[in-house]
Amino acid sequence: MDAATDQELAVRVLGPLRAFVGEHEIELGPPLQRALFAVLALRSNHVVYRTELIDALWGEELPTRPEGGIHTYVAGLRRAFEPGRGRRSPGRVIASRGSGYLLRAASDAVDLARFERCVETARAAVGSGDLPEAERRYDEALGIFEGAALGGVPGPFAAAQRDRLAEVRLGVVEDRIDVILARGRHAAVIGDLRTMTREHPLRERPWSQLMLAFYRAGRQADALAAFDEAREACVRDLGLDPGPALRDLRQRIVLGDPGLTVPVRAETAARAPAPACRNLPRDIEGFIGRDRETDRVLSSIDRFGGGSGRSPGARPVPPLRVFAIDGMAGVGKTSLAVRLAHRLADDYPDGQLYLDLHAHTVGQDPLAAATALDKLLRAIGVPGERIPAEADERAATWRAELAGRRMLLVLDNAAGAAQVRPLLPGSAGSLVLITARRRLPGLQDCEFLSLDVLPDTEAATLFAIAAGDVRPAAEPEATEAVVRICGNLPLAVQIAGARLRHREAWSVAHLLDRLGDEERRLAELRVDDRSVAVAFGLSYRSQAPDRQRIFRLLGLFPGPEFTVRAAAALAGTDVRDTDEALEDLVDAHLLDQPRAGRYRFHDLLGVFAARQCREEETEAARRAAMERLLDFYVLIVDDAEELIRPHRLDRAERPPGDSGAHRFDDRAAALAWLDAERAGLAPLVRAAGEYGLDHQGWQIARYLWGFFEARRLWADWIACYELALPCARRAGDRLAEARILVGLGVCRHDLREYAEAVGHYRRALGLMREIGFRSGEAGVLTNLGNSYRRLGEVAESISCQEQSLEIFRESGDRPGAGIALANLGERYRDAGRFEESIACQRQALEIFQEFGSRGLEGNVLDNLARTYQSMGRYDEALQRCEEALAARRDAADRYGEAETLDCLGHIHQAAGRTVEARRQWNRALDLFDALDAPAAADVRAQLAGLARNG
């Protein structure tokens, strides 16, 4: 392996997490560091991105700086595996790949891989009839487990994997028992099965194995008593009877079915196949993608002896397998089901049936279960006179007819579990593929596959196939844009390609231009009887009226994602009711849920919802909904600002009876919520202007000041404030206009666009003086003085700070006076008036300590350090820097921390300590780069200067 040692890496996850290099066990460190290693180990030789690691370690409970935690844990693991590695040397065991990491390991380094290989070999032995070899391999696989997988490892990923691997292990135990039963050693497994049924009373497979073991051991009464125990557990915990397979086994035991006394293999081999019936639709030409879903179905079937190329009679009859494929309209569910059915047809020689259940068919109601059963029974040759009139009797006849057959059944376009449940076979040997626009959690013993849209490359390929010529390849950028506008939805991509195919005069760019108009987009995505809007409309109209209303109102939401509370505000509904409605819409694939508590539309569904809102809601209703939404955001953004910037001057007016129920626990929680909302903040301000809700527009922007400043999001800040400025002007609020101008000035100053900053500040200063707001005037003078300083206008800068200090002192505003003193101290330092500078900074420090403003303390301490450096008093400068770093970190001010590290670099360079200067500047550079701050260029220049000078 490519590691810091020639010895092989070995990882154990099937028990307590452990890692070895040769014979030496590696100390994996604290719990969360072990959790990170577990993720890398289970995905060895694949890149795991930082965002995935953050989700795996913390889920929704994020710490303040999760990226820093990931960096720390990776560094800790690298020290453990490669103790001699240099700090900036690339990791050889844990390698960096862009924004992620990868664990390099041999193919069998992780014990899970060895376990899976043993299981695969065992199942192959079952398929070939070598039952002794199968039992040996199952025993070998189970011997690899040393306890609960990932024992003691915290985090949501580890918990999910622990549950998954426990389920996998239990399935292998059941497979092993099947082999032992097939070898005739019934009594040997009764004790184990007794334990399994006590530990997993709702798992029907061990109950059926126990009943069969008792029966074959001559203990028919015990077999029936076992069924009674299973039924009691199901009724007690689920309110349901056991499934049809267990009930069928009980009936066969009561009747003394001779087929139960011999292995199922022999029974299956002796039965002649029934005449086959086949009515599958033709396979889809140009089928693209879905490899993961296909592999999952095939591997699941292979676990039970399926797989083409072997005679069905040469292997055990597999249990009934049911797969439910769900997804939004047009995502390709039917195409996948039909493709799978054709691929697996040879493994189900007794017939392959297709039935459209018409849950979403224009002009047709969903098939009733009785009607569907009539169609199925006739399809397999049951004469009409033998088909009972009642639905439950038809279902019983259907199950009886399928007993002993190996049938493949495609139930397409299902309305729900209740429609499908009577159509399922009751005995082993068959495969059912169900497609539905809704998730079907009510189906038991079913595997679920939820389809998403296609990846970019596959969607572009599908578009090219549908277009049928070279135009997509000749216009790759336009093709990429068309696919993106279609949201990678297969139906939309195919229709767009078909439109291009039948318009030889069009280019892809022309098609893109037609699709670019959002109001025309759905009309463009229609060809013959295929229409994206019609497909969406069927899903929409299948919802209850209250669900339809909230769906279409959400089409007004201006951002990419929304929370339950935001949706409740928009719709004017109770939060709990809204939560239920959103979850229903997710189940119907009319909404996506990228993570718990947050929702979004597929792009085209968002367009469809907006269209329905325009058509079905009055203009007044739409404006009222938007006003409710913006009022909600004003209050919640104000709540966040209260925690991020508690000493601000202005606050939102609270409506009567406001409970503050949406308040955040702390500053970190407020910042985390705003991080999640970030992409939708500017669209909210824009929507406020479009709806004439100017007061809410400038307020939302104003109360985002602390967030933008804390995260140094200059581009977002400018975008929001430039949208808010006309809102403030139209509202006639001169103070709001001045404050927005000040915010723009701060952004331009931080981006080193000092002349532009001065222009904004001067306009704001004029407004403050016009309305007589003296504290505001002082604040603007402070900022104006800072920008004058950067332009080299030292006298103007000092004058502004002195005027500001005078106003703050007149008004008794001590925090404001502290800021003015701090700035004036900087200006005196620039002018070489060091003692005056120190005096000002000490006064400012006293004020900020009085008010507990750790961030501002850090700023003053940093400036004191720079003054001491200018005076050659390096020891005092270093002491102030260390104090500044502590304050910056307490305030979670990463930009300020970088500034102080830069200051440390300058002090060490001035004192002749080049190595230490380089170290501090490298630390500063890492932070500035992470913040995408212009100051990073300065630090690089300083490091380059050190390199040139040796």
354-391 per-residue burial string, b: 16 or more CB within 10 A, e: under 16: bbbbbbbeeeeebbebbebbbebbebbebeeeebeeeb
DSSP 890-915: HTT-HHHHHHHHHHHHHHHHHTT-HH
User: Would you say residue 310 has pLDDT above 50?
Assistant: no
User: Would you say residue 269 has pLDDT above 50?
Assistant: no
Per the prediction, the chain carries an average pLDDT of: 88
Q: State the DSSP code for 279.
A: -
Q: Where are the alpha helices (DSSP H) in 751-793?
A: 754-771, 774-790
Average pLDDT of 295-299?
A: 88
Angstrom distance (rounded) from CA 57 to CA 54 = 5
SS3 645: coil
pLDDT band at residue 1 using 50, 70 and 90 as cut-offs? very low
141 Cβ neighbours under 8 A, 6+ residues apart: 115, 118, 119, 122, 172
Record the tokens describing residue 537, joined without a space: 């409309």
pLDDT at 947: 79
Of 703, 707, 727, 725, nearest in space to 716 by CA: 707
Angstrom distance (rounded) from CA 804 to CA 724 = 27
Angstrom distance (rounded) from CA 555 to CA 562 = 11
Contact indicator for 410, 353 with CB cutoff of 8 Å: yes
Q: Where are the alpha helices (DSSP H) in 486-618?
A: 490-501, 508-516, 518-524, 532-541, 545-554, 564-571, 575-587, 603-616
> How wide is the angle at C-alpha 323 spanned by C-alphas 320 and 324, nearest 5°?
140
pLDDT at 257: 75
Higher local confidence (pLDDT), 738 or 657: 738
Of 284, 291, 285, nearest in space to 455 by CA: 291
Q: At which residue do the structure tokens 């998954």 appear?
A: 164
Record the tokens describing residue 281, joined without a space: 């639709």
Angstrom distance (rounded) from CA 126 to CA 104 = 34
Q: At which residue do the structure tokens 């009724």 appear?
A: 235
Q: Looking at the structure, do residues 511 and 550 belong to the same domain, yes or no?
A: no
pTM, rounded to two decimals: 0.62
Write down which residue in 148, 183, 218 finishes a domain.
183
pLDDT band at residue 548 using 50, 70 and 90 as cut-offs? very high
Report the number of distinct structural domains present in the chain: 4
β-partners of residue 563 are 598
Record the tokens describing residue 412, joined without a space: 């397409």
Contact indicator for 444, 243 with CB cutoff of 8 Å: yes
Angstrom distance (rounded) from CA 599 to CA 69 = 27
Q: Looking at the structure, do residues 604 and 474 belong to the same domain, yes or no?
A: no
Cα separations in angstroms, 489 against 340, 525, 800: 20, 11, 59
For residue 147, being part of any structural domain is answered with yes
Average pLDDT of 196-204?
A: 89
Range of the domain at 416: 277-449
User: Would you say residue 54 has pLDDT above 80?
Assistant: yes
89 Cβ neighbours under 8 A, 6+ residues apart: none
DSSP 342-402: HHHGGG-TTEEEEEE--TTBTTBPPPPHHHHHHHHHHHTT--GGGS-SSHHHHHHHHHHHH
User: Would you say residue 301 has pLDDT above 90?
Assistant: no
Reported as a single tens digit per residue, the pLDDT across 130-181 is 888 888 999 999 999 988 899 889 988 888 888 889 888 998 999 899 888 8
Which class for 110: exposed (0-12), middle (13-18), buried (19 or more C-beta within 10 A)?
buried
Q: Looking at the structure, do residues 334 and 441 belong to the same domain, yes or no?
A: yes
For residue 573, being part of any structural domain is answered with yes
Contact indicator for 457, 342 with CB cutoff of 8 Å: no
pLDDT at 87: 61
Choose the weakest-confidence range: 59-63, 213-217, 711-715, 926-930: 59-63
Write down which residue in 420, 449, 478 finishes a domain.
449
Q: Looking at the structure, do residues 301 and 415 belong to the same domain, yes or no?
A: yes
- The sign one gets for the Cα dihedral 643, 646, 648, 651 is positive
Edge-to-edge strand ranges of the sheet holding 408-414: 277-278, 351-356, 408-414, 431-436, 321-326, 447-450
904 Cβ neighbours under 8 A, 6+ residues apart: 878, 881, 917, 920
Record the tokens describing residue 825, joined without a space: 């101290």
Cα separations in angstroms, 872 against 536, 538, 876: 73, 77, 9
Return phi, psi of residue 100, to 5°.
-145, -175
Relative to beta strand 598-600, strand 562-563 is: antiparallel
Record the tokens describing residue 715, joined without a space: 């581009």
Record the tokens describing residue 25, joined without a space: 């066990």
Record the tokens describing residue 126, joined without a space: 């079952």
Of 672, 681, 535, nearest in space to 602 by CA: 535
pLDDT at 540: 93
User: Which CATH number belongs to the domain containing residue 423 in this structure?
Assistant: 3.40.50.300
Q: Looking at the structure, do residues 540 and 508 belong to the same domain, yes or no?
A: no
Q: Looking at the structure, do residues 150 and 2 belong to the same domain, yes or no?
A: yes
Q: Looking at the structure, do residues 386 and 472 belong to the same domain, yes or no?
A: no
pLDDT at 558: 95
- The sign one gets for the Cα dihedral 417, 422, 428, 430 is negative
For residue 568, being part of any structural domain is answered with yes
Average pLDDT of 36-44?
A: 92
Return phi, psi of residue 264, to 5°.
-55, -30
Reported as a single tens digit per residue, the pLDDT across 650-707 is 787 777 766 555 578 899 999 999 999 999 999 999 999 999 999 999 999 999 999 9
SS3 25: strand
Q: Looking at the structure, do residues 348 and 428 belong to the same domain, yes or no?
A: yes
Side chain identity at residue 582, one-letter code = L
Q: Looking at the structure, do residues 502 and 420 belong to the same domain, yes or no?
A: no
SS3 530: strand
Cα separations in angstroms, 876 against 13, 404, 697: 52, 89, 48
For residue 58, being part of any structural domain is answered with yes
For residue 814, being part of any structural domain is answered with no
For residue 940, being part of any structural domain is answered with no
Q: Looking at the structure, do residues 490 and 548 belong to the same domain, yes or no?
A: no
User: Would you say residue 242 has pLDDT above 50?
Assistant: yes
What number of other Cβ atoms are within 10 A of residue 871's Cβ? 15
pLDDT band at residue 309 using 50, 70 and 90 as cut-offs? very low
Average pLDDT of 68-83?
A: 87
User: Which CATH number belongs to the domain containing residue 586 in this structure?
Assistant: 1.10.10.10
User: Would you say residue 312 has pLDDT above 60?
Assistant: no
Q: Looking at the structure, do residues 483 and 583 belong to the same domain, yes or no?
A: no
Three-class SS of 400-460:
HHHCCCCCEEEEEEECCHHHHHHHCCCCCCCEEEEEECCCCCCCCCCEEEECCCCCHHHHH
For residue 484, being part of any structural domain is answered with yes
Record the tokens describing residue 278, joined without a space: 């086949």
pLDDT at 276: 60
Side chain identity at residue 462, one-letter code = L
Q: Looking at the structure, do residues 4 and 96 belong to the same domain, yes or no?
A: yes
pLDDT band at residue 647 using 50, 70 and 90 as cut-offs? confident
Q: Which of 181-185, 263-267, 384-388, 632-636 has the highest mean pLDDT?
A: 632-636
User: Would you say residue 258 has pLDDT above 80?
Assistant: no
**For 893, what's the count of Cα atoms within 13 Å in the CB-facing half-sphere?**
24
For residue 246, being part of any structural domain is answered with no
